[in-house]
Structure 1
Amino acid sequence: MPEPIATPSTSPAGSSHAASPGTHPPSHTGRVYRYYDLVMVAFVTVLLCSNLIGAAKAAQVTLPVIGTVTFGAGVLFFPISYIFGDVLTEVYGYGRDRRVVWAGFAALAFATFMSVVVLNMPVAPFMADYQKSLQDVFGNTWRIALGSLIAFCCGSFTNSFVLAKMKLWTGGRWLWSRTIGSTLAGELVDSSLFYVIAFYGIWPLHEVIQVAIAQYVLKTAWEVVMTPVTYKVVNFLKRAENEDWFDHHTNFTPFRLRV
């Protein structure tokens, strides 16, 4: 598989190479990116849709050797948010991806708050039957909502951190190793936290473990399948943005918005 094209940035803000001793660390300050905002919007859209639409349905398929597997339908689309996270960190750096993660967290938190408010408003008599349907689809318990928020945040930051560090360790080579490796780490954190927070003590423990493992395998398998697409997107953005960020001087704390 061809390696992504690394186009050194000609801007002083670029960071395709490490800063020389005695110079100021590279910075995003002053850079205007053509596609960063679009990628952010796509990330938040996938995140909201997979949590609000996909989470409402449990799907079931029968696979060779494995047998019948039950999973949340959102698993087909939620991993795309991790692919966007990989692309953001690879091209724009951990700091830019961190802003996107917090934007996604805020959007998901607001959607959860809005669903609680709307579902608890007095319903018109002719909407009584429809209210039950809305409650079934959007009326997640506080544990599911909390588990989703915490798992997303921790899993996304883990994914971005691992990819940024692996990019330094590999010198920007072997993109496939860090996109898959970071997803293995991020999805492990995400799946483990979500199912423990949302369902421990409600489902039998063996069911919690079984479903969490099934979700983890399916999500990471998506990353492997989508690797060629990730390569194409990364190559396009690196050329279009004239950027290939290396996080040599990055503050990796998740608790900040500044790049």
Structure 2
Amino acid sequence: MNQEPRVFKYYDLIMAAFVCVLLCSNLIGAAKAAQLTLPVLGTVTFGADLFFFPISYIFGDILTEVYGYGRDRRVVWAGFGALVFSAFMAFVVVHLPPAQNDFMAAYQGHVEAVFGNTWRIVAGSMIAFACGSFANSFVLAKMKIATQGRFLWARVVGSTVVGQAVDTSFFFLIAFSGIWPNEQLFAVIVTQYLFKTIWEAVMYPATAWVVHFLKRAEGVDHYDRGTNFNPFKIRV
């Protein structure tokens, strides 16, 4: 007799929130290089998505810690599907002939400037997030087994250090190499990596609270013993 899949109360909500953060951070913030002048550090250049994209990794940590690598993998592929659709929609919108008036003639240029590079952003995001997110989830899942469920802070920070290094470098090199000056590109990569890692460490108390809440509410604390870690496998 086949066992019916277990239904969780909050899993779908977390999936929806993850997809929303992934789309917004990649299509709204990633294409803009911003600068701030900070005490001691001086002028710092960073991607405008800096404060938002790491939230997707926090969701990844929560999903893997509570529901397991397999269910986190499904959420990642759901995000990829949304990115593919957004790239297709952007391509169609950019290439549709604008209405013949002065406003639309000017507006078409703005649309092309904002969404004309969407295919590179999406390609970079998909490749980088595939490698980075699965590396993050894999490290956290393996560390959970090795520590027997203890030291959540070490698993969250350790997996982030690995995942963000892969994700940040792959994304910016694919999406903006040849568009931004090399000096600025590598400055943004280093800044993004350091700040994203620090940001997730700062957010750890909130991450831990959500993890403990979900474990109690869902009655689950998954350990990935015997898990198939093939990233292309869709079934849990």
Q: TM-score, normalised by structure 1?
A: 0.85
Q: Secondary structure at the match of 2:7?
A: coil
Q: Residue in 2 aligned with 1:156?
A: 133
Superposition deviation, residue 37 in structure 1: 0.4
Q: Secondary structure at the match of 1:71?
A: strand
Once the two structures are superposed, the pairs formed by residues 81-96 of structure 1 within 5 Å of their partners are 81-96=56-71
Superposition deviation, residue 66 in structure 1: 1.6
1:70 and 2:21 correspond: no
Amino acid at match of 2:70: G
Gaps of at least 5 residues in structure 2 are: none
Q: Residue in 2 aligned with 1:216?
A: 193
In structure 2, what is the Cα distance between the partners aligned to 1:29 and 1:49? 34
Amino acid at match of 2:170: L
User: Which of 29, 34, 41 is residue 9 of structure 2 equivalent to?
Assistant: 34
Task: Give the conservation status (yes or no) of the 8 Å contact 1:95–1:258.
Answer: yes
Task: Give the conservation status (yes or no) of the 8 Å contact 1:56–1:138.
Answer: no
Superposition deviation, residue 141 in structure 1: 5.6
Q: Residue in 2 aligned with 1:55?
A: 30
Gaps of at least 5 residues in structure 1 are: 1-27
User: Which of 146, 154, 162 is residue 185 of structure 1 equivalent to?
Assistant: 162
* Aligned alpha-carbon RMSD (Å): 1.7
Task: Give the conservation status (yes or no) of the 8 Å contact 1:54–1:74.
Answer: yes
In structure 2, what is the Cα distance between the partners aligned to 1:141 and 1:95? 29
In structure 2, what is the Cα distance between the partners aligned to 1:29 and 1:97? 19
1:134 and 2:111 correspond: yes
Shift in alpha-carbon separation, 1:243–1:107, aligned structure 2, 3 A: same
Q: Secondary structure at the match of 1:124?
A: coil
Identity within the alignment, %: 66
Q: Secondary structure at the match of 2:34?
A: strand
Between structures 1 and 2, the one with greater helix share: 2
Q: Secondary structure at the match of 1:32?
A: coil
In structure 1, what is the Cα distance between the partners aligned to 2:105 and 2:232? 43
Superposition deviation, residue 206 in structure 1: 3.5
Task: Give the conservation status (yes or no) of the 8 Å contact 1:57–1:72.
Answer: yes
Q: TM-score, normalised by structure 2?
A: 0.93
Shift in alpha-carbon separation, 1:64–1:246, aligned structure 2, 3 A: same
In structure 2, what is the Cα distance between the partners aligned to 1:215 and 1:51? 14
Q: Residue in 2 aligned with 1:4?
A: none
User: Which of 136, 143, 146 is residue 120 of structure 2 equivalent to?
Assistant: 143
How many pairs align? 233
